[in-house]
A = this chain, B = another copy of it.
């Protein structure tokens, strides 16, 4: 499958590695591909520059946003939530029309420490409204990049949520995630794209759990009573 990931950060890199390992063709869409390839700034989380990451992952293609998604079978939004809409508009409605967009971004302003969209709206809904011909499925936005791509790293039960208006698209996303190691019993389909309001608001407690634990190697698990 041809998968285009919009973004070049930790999440985009982790997903790209996983998709390549699963024999997909991967394009990373970014504003300035040649500059990005030469980017030597250490990533604040991994400590590795994009240049160094790309040196060992050069089977991933880089493309300018407007050229990144024409041939994609599926698109992943792995940008920062505060700029997702702007960047996806550069990718363009025609290139995204008729395709699934997995939205894994959260609309969080790191400089202010607050959500930029919440309560009465969500990024998932805004993207679906901006790209009516694209099938937006919100998923994977409730955990760190390592757990997204290595669900087996948490041996006990934990969950991944699905929000989206199109049932068939959610089934396809579920199949992709299962190929990445997620198991049937870990999925919770919350309903339509408006349920993104629920999952995006797991970020505020996620950040506080990160502060309390000193690490982000955790995930949410919904434990049900035996009734």
Closest to A118 in B: B119
Knowing A198-B207, A205-B201, A205-B202 touch, does A223 contact B157 (C-beta < 8 A)? yes
List the B side residues contacting A199 at CB < 8 Å. Answer: 205
With a cutoff of 8 Å between Cβ atoms, the chain B residues found around residue A212 in the complex are 188-191, 195
Residues of B within 8 A of A178 (CB): none
Q: How far is the CA of A191 from the CA of B220 in the complex (A)?
A: 19
Do residues A218 and B222 form an inter-chain contact, with CB atoms below 8 A? yes
Is there a chain B Cβ closer than 8 Å to A221's Cβ? Answer: yes
Contact B220 A224 (CB under 8 A): no
Q: How many copies does the complex hold?
A: 2
Residues of B within 8 A of A120 (CB): 114
Interface residues of A in 97-139 (CB under 8 A from B): 114-115, 118-120
A94 on interface, CB distance cutoff 8 Å: no
* B contact residues around A157 at 8 Å (CB): 156, 221, 223
Contact residues of A between 200 and 214, Cβ < 8 Å to B: 201-202, 204-209, 211-213
Label chain A's interface by main secondary structure. mixed
CB-defined contacts of A195 to chain B, threshold 8 Å:
208, 212
A217 proximal to B (CB < 8 A)? yes
Q: A118, A119, A188, A195: which has the most chain B beta carbons within 10 Å?
A: A119
Nearest B-chain residue to A152, judged by Cβ: B225
Q: Is the CB of A223 within 8 A of B154?
A: yes
CB distance from A118 to the nearest CB of B (A): 5
Does any Cβ of B come within 8 Å of A47's Cβ?
no
Q: By the criterion CB–CB under 8 Å, are B224 and A211 in contact? A: no
Closest residue of B by beta carbon distance from A115: B119
A55 to B155, CA, bound (A): 49
| Shortest CB distance A160–B (Å) | 12
> In residues 161-191 of chain A, which contact B (Cβ within 8 Å)?
188-191
9 smallest beta-carbon distances between A and B, as pairs? A198-B205, A217-B225, A198-B208, A221-B221, A158-B223, A201-B201, A221-B223, A218-B224, A195-B208
> CB within 8 Å of B: which residues of A?
114-115, 118-120, 147, 153-158, 188-191, 195, 197-199, 201-202, 204-209, 211-213, 215, 217-227
